[in-house]
DNA sequence: GCCACACTTCTACAGGCGTAGAAGTTAGAC
DNA sequence: GTCTAACTTCTACGCCTGTAGAAGTGTGGC
């Protein structure tokens, strides 16, 4: 039991911490503000507190000064893939293929990305086929 | 302004109606139950009522008997693609490529699906390249 | 040794979602 | 015409999420 699906704001905070950690609440708050999400200091702390309870982050003792620092306990890949899996199940009834088809329709992938994908696809095909 | 992202239960109900509509609350309830989501009759109605307010479904007058019937006002593609777009933005910072790569990792696509995708990919490539 | 300030803890609240009971209404049976 | 069973309307409530103020605490400056 681990790695519950984070809420919207939890994910934002995790993203900050995945890029750099540990960070203090104030540092996290500042980064969020730079990204267009301005919150009161206490709001950030409340969230962090809840995330500690949910085991999404851990609270580290201050090295110097008085501010706690926080580190993620869940991994980038782990979380996003979990969320992706949930999403595929909930919205596309578990069909990864349907998702990709839909993405082709909507997303504007450039030539480079497309050939990248083809390369990968070929590799996968070789793996699957004997 | 339309097509808000439906909540989990709203989506379940929409899925039922996309397959067949119009349906009465009782019919919807039954279908949901078959899919493992058993709700009180009034719960279904409450939801439907809220969805009418949100313009996700419309209420049709009874043809015979006394039960209202409901039809979706939003389309399958429209909603799922909207949700997919949101998801890609929120979780993968807008990178459709990252989503597909992640799907390759997680989803067990079989050979047929893979070659289907490759076919599509090639078509896309031809479209993009001069 | 004391003070100011930064930081934390505690508490609260509003809105959305899922859920459903109680009370009211109406259609059809007879 | 009346009754009953089905259906709807009204109301409510608990949980979760996002948000933040007020009050408490401890550190470093001097």
A129 Cβ under 8 Å from any chain B Cβ: yes
State CA B22 to chain mean position distance. 16
The answer to whether A27 and A42 are in contact (CB under 8 A) is no
At B3 the pLDDT is: 55
Q: Is the CB of A24 under 7 A from strand C?
A: yes
Domain spans of chain A, in order of start: 8-74, 77-128
Domain A8-74 architecture:
Orthogonal Bundle (1.10)
Q: What is the pLDDT of residues A80-105, one digit of tens each?
A: 999 999 999 999 999 999 999 999 98
- Is residue B38 within 8 Å of B20, Cβ to Cβ? no
Beta strands in chain A (DSSP E): 23-24, 57-60, 69-72
Residue B65 falls in which region: left (phi positive, over 0), alpha (psi -120 to 50) or beta = left
pLDDT for res B130: 64
Read out DSSP for B98-125?
HHHHHHHHHS---HHHHHHHHHHHHHHH
Contact check, Cβ <8 Å, B101/A111: no
pLDDT of residue A108: 84
Neighbours of B62 (CB within 10 A): 11
Angle at A7 (CA atoms; ends A78, B2), nearest 5 degrees: 120
Asked if A52 contacts A8 with a C-beta cutoff of 8 angstroms, the reply is no
Given this model, what pLDDT does residue A107 score?
85
B1: pLDDT strictly greater than 50: no
Residue A129 has pLDDT above 80, yes or no: no
pLDDT bucket at B108, cuts 50 / 70 / 90: confident
Residue A30: pLDDT over 80: yes
Return the residue matching tokens 């109606």: B17
What is the spatial distance between Cα A116 and Cα B11, in angstroms, rounded to a whole number?
A: 34
Q: Higher-confidence residue: B46 or B105?
A: B46
Of residues A106, A94, A86, A113, the one with CA closest to residue B109: A94
Q: Residues 95 to 124 of B: which have CB under 8 A from any A CB? A: 96-97, 99-107, 109-111, 113-118, 120-122, 124
- Nucleotide nearest residue B39, measured CA to C1': C19
- Report the distance from CA of residue A47 to the C1' of nucleotide C11 in Å, as an integer: 15
Q: What is the pLDDT of residue A3?
A: 54
Any alpha helices (H) in chain B, and if so which ranges?
8-19, 25-34, 41-53, 76-92, 96-106, 111-128
Closest nt by CA–C1' to B25? D7
Q: Taking all residues of chain A, what is their mean pLDDT, rounded to a whole number?
A: 91
| Residue A1 in this model has a pLDDT that exceeds 60 | no
Angle at B85 between CA A37 and CA A84, to 5 degrees: 90
Give pLDDT tens digits for B55-76.
Answer: 999 999 877 667 899 999 999 9
Residue B97: pLDDT band by 50, 70, 90 thresholds? very high
CA distance A24 to chain B (A): 23
Give residues 50 to 89 of B whose Cβ lies within 8 Å of A.
80-81, 83-85, 87-88
Quick count: other Cβ atoms within 10 Å of Cβ B6?
21
Query: Can you tell me the mean pLDDT for A40-64?
Result: 92
Q: How far is the C-alpha of B28 from the C-alpha of B16, rounded, in Å?
A: 7
> What pLDDT does A38 receive?
96
CATH of B8-76 among 3.40.50.1110, 1.10.1740.10, 3.30.70.330, 1.10.10.10? 1.10.10.10
pLDDT tens across A99-122, in order? 999 999 888 888 898 988 999 888
């Amino acid at each position: 039991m681990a790695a519950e699906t984070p809420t919207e704001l939890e994910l934002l905070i995790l993203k900050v911490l995945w890029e750099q950690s540990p960070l203090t609440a104030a540092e996290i708050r500042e980064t969020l503000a730079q990204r267009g999400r301005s919150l009161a200091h206490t709001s950030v702390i409340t969230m962090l507190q809840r995330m500690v309870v949910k085991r999404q982050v851990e609270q580290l003792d201050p090295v110097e000064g008085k501010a706690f620092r926080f580190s993620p306990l869940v991994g980038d890949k782990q979380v996003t893939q979990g969320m992706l899996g949930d999403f595929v199940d909930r919205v596309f009834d578990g069909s990864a293929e349907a998702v990709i088809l839909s993405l082709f329709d909507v997303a504007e992938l450039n030539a480079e990305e497309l050939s990248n994908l083809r390369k990968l696809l070929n590799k996968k095909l070789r793996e699957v086929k004997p």
